[in-house]
């Protein structure tokens, strides 16, 4: 039995879950609503205040789907009740980040500014303090979407190992290299 898959998901107050005939799980909560299509062979049961995912057999693909769908449903429950946040830092001389609604404008040392239009499900905030690196804060209810958008932002200028310049997640360690001066 999957260690993760067999754990029941407890529902916080204000969160409701419904499963329709085509195995679409809908989770509604105070922050919004999320839907996820579950594989037709997986069984999703809702008891009083908890959800459990069961598999039909001990086949390898059923075992792998068991933990996956339990985690996806748990992420939906946490998202609609608490929400998710990703924080990023823009490190480099002259690097800037500015949010205007759902538009993120970045100056990353290129000859032009980079403008990203973010989906309406994600809220973006930027904070620039004197003497500190600009901060980007992404918030929303969909964990997958926030992770994907954060990865695309980081991909624009990943942190480089010599000076450490670039966009990184808050608290991310960047392994530094000595450079050619250390070889002499």
Longest dimension (CA), the chain: 70
Question: How far is Cα 59 from Cα 38, in angstroms, rounded to an integer?
Answer: 17
**pLDDT (tens place) for every residue of the chain, 184 residues total:** 568 888 999 999 999 999 998 889 999 999 999 999 999 999 999 988 899 999 999 899 998 899 999 999 999 999 999 999 999 999 999 999 999 999 999 999 999 999 999 999 999 999 999 889 999 999 999 999 999 999 999 999 999 999 999 999 999 999 999 888 776 6
CATH number attached to the domain at 9-81 = 3.90.930.12
Q: Please tell me the CATH superfamily of domain 84-169, with its number.
A: Ribosomal protein L6 (3.90.930.12)
pTM for the model stands at 0.89
Question: 3-class SS at 69?
Answer: helix
Domain assignments of the chain as residue spans, ordered by start: 9-81, 84-169
Say what the pLDDT of residue 183 is.
65
């Amino acid at each position: 039995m999957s260690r993760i898959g067999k754990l029941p998901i407890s529902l916080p107050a204000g969160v409701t879950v419904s499963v329709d005939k085509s195995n679409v799980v809908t989770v509604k909560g105070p922050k919004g609503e999320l839907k996820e299509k579950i594989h037709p062979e997986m069984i999703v049961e809702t008891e009083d205040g908890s959800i459990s995912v069961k598999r039909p057999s001990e086949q390898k693909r059923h075992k792998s789907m068991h933990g996956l769908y339990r985690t996806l449903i748990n992420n939906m429950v946490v998202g609609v009740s608490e929400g998710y946040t990703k924080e990023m830092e823009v490190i480099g001389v002259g690097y800037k980040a500015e949010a205007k609604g759902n538009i993120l404008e970045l100056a990353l040392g290129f000859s032009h500014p980079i403008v990203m239009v973010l989906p309406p499900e994600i809220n973006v905030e930027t904070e620039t303090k004197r003497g500190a690196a600009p901060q980007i804060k992404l918030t929303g209810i969909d964990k997958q979407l926030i992770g994907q958008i954060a990865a695309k932002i980081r991909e624009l200028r990943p942190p480089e190992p010599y000076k450490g310049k670039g966009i990184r997640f808050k608290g991310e360690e960047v392994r530094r290299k000595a450079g050619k001066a250390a070889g002499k």
